[in-house]
Amino acid sequence: DAKTTQPPSMDCAEGRAANLPCNHSTISGNEYVYWYRQIHSQGPQYIIHGLKNNETNEMASLIITEDRKSSTLILPHATLRDTAVYYCIVSSTNSNSGYALNFGKGTSLLVTP
Amino acid sequence: DTAVSQTPKYLVTQMGNDKSIKCEQNLGHDTMYWYKQDSKKFLKIMFSYNNKELIINETVPNRFSPKSPDKAHLNLHINSLELGDSAVYFCASSQGGKQGYTFGSGTRLTVV
C-alpha cells in the first residue's frame, strides 16, 4: 500500500472550514483514499473514501487531485467536537475479503472557540 | 444498539495470565478485524477474518489467537500475558472491501 504524508497538527476556528491535506504520491491505480478520525479515547470513526472522483457525505467532502497524488478532507463548518486525530490512508481493497488499513501518525486537528 | 461491541472495556491482569477479549457485531458484515494501538498511539492490524476464515495474520506472537465461532463474533485470546501486551485493542468490521470499517470502542489491557 502507498504511504501517506500529513501535517502533524493543525488548528481551526470553530465555524470555519477545516482543510486537511494528505500527500500520497506513490498511490497506484487500484488504491482508494480513506479518511478516518479518532476522538480521544474512542475507536476510530470512518469519514469518507474515494478512488478518483470528489466525494461528499454528511460529514465531509473529499477532494482528490486529478493525478491522485494528493487529497484534501474538508470539514465545512468545524465544531469543537471535530477535535480529533485525522488519518489519511491509502489501501487497495478486495471486494470479497476485506482489506487492511495502515494507520500513520495522522493530523491532530484542534478546533478552537 | 451498539454496532460493534467489545468486552471488557478495561482489563487489568498479571503477567503470565491468560485472558480473552470478546467482540460482536450486529451489522451483518462479513469481515472482522483486530487492531492494536500501542502507547505511542500507532494503530496496527493484527488479524482479519472473512466469514470465519482467517484472511490477514500479521506478525504477532503465537500467544495471540483469534477465534471466530460465527461471522458476527471474533474473539481474541492471549496466553502468557507480558508487560508489552499492554495496549488498547480495537475490534472492527466491514462489508468486504470498498466500504469503511466500523470500529468498537476498544479494550484497554494493562498487564502488571
In the predicted model, what is the mean pLDDT of residues B80-96? 93
Asked if the Cβ–Cβ distance from B102 to A46 is below 8 Å, we say: yes
CA geometry: angle at B82 spanning B80 and B87, to 5°?
120
Q: Which residues of A touch B33 (CB under 8 A)?
A: 98, 100
Residue with cell string 462479513: B30
Q: Residue B41's pLDDT is what?
A: 84
Q: What is the pLDDT of residue A105?
A: 92
Confidence of residue B111 (pLDDT cuts 50, 70, 90): very high
Region of residue B71 (phi > 0: left; psi between -120 and 50: alpha; otherwise: beta): alpha
Provide the sign of the torsion angle of the four alpha carbons A77, A78, A80, A82, taken in this order.
positive
In the chain, the amino acid numbered A44 is: P
Q: What is the DSSP letter of B27?
A: S
Report pLDDT for B75: 96
Grade residue B108 by pLDDT with cuts at 50, 70 and 90: very high
Query: B25 — contact with chain A (CB < 8 Å)?
Result: no
Q: Cβ contact (<8 Å) for A43 and B90? A: yes
| Residue found by looking up cell 504520491 in the block | A25
A3 has a chain B CB within 8 A of its CB? no
Please indicate if any CB of chain B lies within 8 Å of the CB of A59. Answer: no
Kind and range of the H or E run holding A20: strand A18-23
- Bigger pLDDT: A5 or B57? A5
Per-residue pLDDT of chain A (113 residues; tens, 9 = 90+): 668 999 999 999 999 999 999 999 999 888 899 999 999 989 999 999 999 989 999 999 999 999 999 999 999 999 999 999 999 999 877 556 678 888 999 999 999 99
Q: Give the residues across from A32 on adjacent strands.
A: A91
The minimal CB distance from A97 to the residues B50, B103, B106 is found for: B50
B104–chain A Cβ distance below 8 A for any pair? yes
CB-nearest partner of A103 from B31, B43, B97: B43
Q: What is the pLDDT of residue A19?
A: 98
pLDDT for the residue A11: 97
Q: Is the pLDDT of residue B63 over 90?
A: yes
Residue type, A57: N
Express each pLDDT in B1-46 by its tens digit: 679 999 999 999 999 999 999 999 999 998 999 999 998 888 999 9
pLDDT at position A1, please?
Answer: 61
